[in-house]
Amino acid sequence: MDENQELEEQFAFLLKDLQENNIQEFRERFLEMHIYEQGQFYQSLTDEERLVVYTYLSPKELADMFDVIEEDNENMKDYLAEMRPSYAAEMLSEMYTDNAVDLLNTLDKKQIAKYLSLMDAEDASEIKDLLHYEDDTAGSIMTTEYVSIVANQTVRSAMYVLKHEADVAETIYYIYVVNQENQLLGVISLRDLIVNEDDTMISDLMSERVISVHVGDDQEDVAQTFRDYDFLALPVTDYDDHLLGIVTVDDIIDVIDDEAASDYSGLAGVNIEEVSENPLKAASRRLPWLITLLFLGMSTATLISHYESLVSEASILAVFISLITGTAGNAGTQSLAVAVRRLALADEKDNNFARLIFSEVLTGLVTGLVTGITIFIIVGFWQGNFILGFVIGMAMLCAITVANLAGSLIPMLMDKLGFDPAVASGPFITTLSDLTSVLIYFSIASMFMSYFLA
């Protein structure tokens, strides 16, 4: 029996226990499962079945499961709404603070206020503090459940603190050392505490070279720091180095997924999260881009009609329109993808605008030259007309170079202006390339018209 079949069998037993009111059996089976599997089972239930679950499980037991359910799940609001308000509030207070904040951020202000008013004052205060941070910053994804110690204590006393706070801390692999004003001084690992003598001073063991992030740093920059240093957690500080919280690697994985989805959505000109949306809602999301591109495409059609007399004189030109526009569009999309990726990873010192543009122009010239020579030879032998082949090859060279430049220049300019470069989507670049390619193609063709018609 494979894992999927085994899991389905477990779900069947749980559902049977639920339907037959076998409370003890249900609790034993459910709590033995991994919390991810608990979440999968919970989300497969009907509204009525979930209402029974709330009577079988404590808010703390449900909180552990809710910590692993994605906060962008469109049903999260409904899950909270169907619970008794006091039960939901207690569950939220039992969740890790950052996860509770993510969940509350899906609600309106009136609902948030209701749940906060029902919570323990200390828990509500911690959540309120995190709710004030701007979206997509280190502050918005950090948690306040961490372990900190002071430098002038021994390993023995530090282990006592660790054991006392480990149950509520999100991670205990790093223990942060602070002074009396809660300013970050250093870091020590769990391993350091375990292998050293009990009477050793923390000040003698801690590493003073602490990599931290500022509370206002963009979450993409935080993710890049995790990627560079392979940390499991990073401390978050204010401008005076006061330790405010930590960001853990599980939150960064979510950030990476979200940013990748955002970038891909921009490149495709569509929201890739709409896979399970209502068709009308999905259509309403796609239409603005399509209508905008339709008008841009009409410009291309208008330009082609402007050269109608040229095409009527040499109808063979019409054969190669889609070839040139398609190849240039592909080149532009490639350049766009590279530019967006480069901007996501770029160091400030490595972000020389002029050098990057020169690099893309050179890349466009090389790819355009090779492609142009190839099509020149093919068209020359195929049509028995090397002048026509030269026109097609030259148009291909110029169109690819311009498309390559546009694909890299537009997202760079958008980034300089403070906009998301991924918004310069693939369909937009492709349509723009069509327009410039047609202009280039017919301009070159008109210059050599008398030669390849001779």
pLDDT in tens, 254-281: 777 766 655 555 555 555 555 455 677 6
pLDDT at res. 347: 52
Is residue 177 within 8 A of residue 148, CB to CB? The reply is yes
pLDDT at res. 245: 92
Q: How far is CA 438 from CA 302, 328, 430, in A?
A: 11, 10, 12
pLDDT at res. 421: 60
In which band, very low, low, confident or very high, does the pLDDT at 159 lie, cut at 50, 70 and 90?
very high
pLDDT at res. 105: 85
Q: What is the mean pLDDT of the chain?
A: 83
pLDDT at res. 349: 47
Q: Which two tokens stand for residue 381?
A: 């032998």
Rounded Cα gap, residues 130 and 104, in angstroms: 11
Task: Report the DSSP pairing between strands 174-178 and 148-150.
Answer: parallel
Q: Which two tokens stand for residue 256?
A: 């990476």
Q: How far is CA 97 from the centre of its chain?
A: 21
pLDDT at res. 419: 63
pTM score > 0.85 for this model?
no
Give, to the nearest 10 degrees, the angle between helix 321-345 and helix 249-268. Answer: 160
Rounded Cα gap, residues 393 and 324, in angstroms: 9
Average pLDDT over residues 352-360: 74
Is residue 99 within 8 A of residue 131, CB to CB? The reply is no
* CATH fourth-level superfamily of 3-136: MgtE N-terminal domain-like (1.25.60.10)
pLDDT at res. 377: 93
Give the 3-state secondary structure of the chain: CCHHHHHHHHHHHHHHHHHCCCHHHHHHHHHHCCHHHHHHHHHCCCHHHHHHHHHHCCHHHHHHHHCCCCCCCCCHHHHHHHCCHHHHHHHHHHCCHHHHHHHHCCCCHHHHHHHHHHCCHHHHHHHHHHHCCCCCEHHHHCECCCCEEECCCEHHHHHHHHHHHCCCCCCCCEEEEECCCCEEEEEEEHHHHHHCCCCCEHHHHCECCCCCEECCCEHHHHHHHHHHHCCCEEEEECCCCEEEEEEEHHHHHHHHHHHHHHHHHHHHCCCHHHHHCCHHHHHHHHHHHHHHHHHHHHHHHHHHHHCHHHHHHCCHHHHCHHHHHHHHHHHHHHHHHHHHHHHHHCCHHHCCHHHHHHHHHHHHHHHHHHHHHHHHHHHHHHHCCHHHHHHHHHHHHHHHHHHHHHHHHHHHHHHHCCCCHHHCCHHHHHHHHHHHHHHHHHHHHHHCHHHHCC
Rounded Cα gap, residues 447 and 451, in angstroms: 9
Question: 56-84: string of b/e by CB count within 10 Å (b at 16+)?
Answer: bbebebbbbbbbebebeeeebeebbeebe
In which band, very low, low, confident or very high, does the pLDDT at 253 lie, cut at 50, 70 and 90?
confident
Average pLDDT over residues 444-453: 76
Residue 408 vs residue 444, higher pLDDT:
444
Which residue, 151, 150, 126, is CA-closest to 244? 126
pLDDT in tens, 121-133: 888 888 888 888 8
CA atoms within 13 A on the CB side of 224: 12
In which band, very low, low, confident or very high, does the pLDDT at 194 lie, cut at 50, 70 and 90?
very high
In which band, very low, low, confident or very high, does the pLDDT at 350 lie, cut at 50, 70 and 90?
low
Residues forming a β-bridge with 201: 154
Is residue 329 within 8 A of residue 430, CB to CB? The reply is yes
- Would you say residue 325 has pLDDT above 80? yes
Average pLDDT over residues 6-25: 89
CATH topology of domain 148-257: CBS-domain (3.10.580)
Which residue, 374, 418, 379, is CA-closest to 397? 374
Best-predicted range by mean pLDDT (173-187, 311-325, 410-424, 426-440) = 173-187
Range of weakest confidence among 1-10, 38-47, 340-349, 388-397: 340-349
pLDDT at res. 259: 66
Domain boundaries, the chain: 3-136, 148-257, 272-452
pLDDT in tens, 51-62: 999 999 999 999
CA atoms within 13 A on the CB side of 413: 8
* CATH fourth-level superfamily of 272-452: SLC41 divalent cation transporters, integral membrane domain (1.10.357.20)
Please state the φ and ψ torsions of residue 154, each to the nearest 5 degrees: -90, 170
Rounded Cα gap, residues 354 and 350, in angstroms: 11
Q: Which residues, at least 6 apart from 140, have a Cβ–Cβ distance to it below 8 Å?
A: 101, 130, 133, 134, 219
pLDDT in tens, 26-37: 999 999 999 889
- Would you say residue 154 has pLDDT above 90? yes
Q: How far is CA 127 from CA 65, 168, 216, in A?
A: 19, 15, 17
pLDDT at res. 433: 82
Q: Over pLDDT 70: what percentage of the chain?
A: 84
- Would you say residue 167 has pLDDT above 70? yes
Is residue 177 within 8 A of residue 188, CB to CB? The reply is yes
Q: Which two tokens stand for residue 133?
A: 């941070």
pLDDT in tens, 208-242: 999 999 999 988 889 888 888 888 899 999 989 99
pLDDT in tens, 58-78: 999 999 888 888 655 667 888
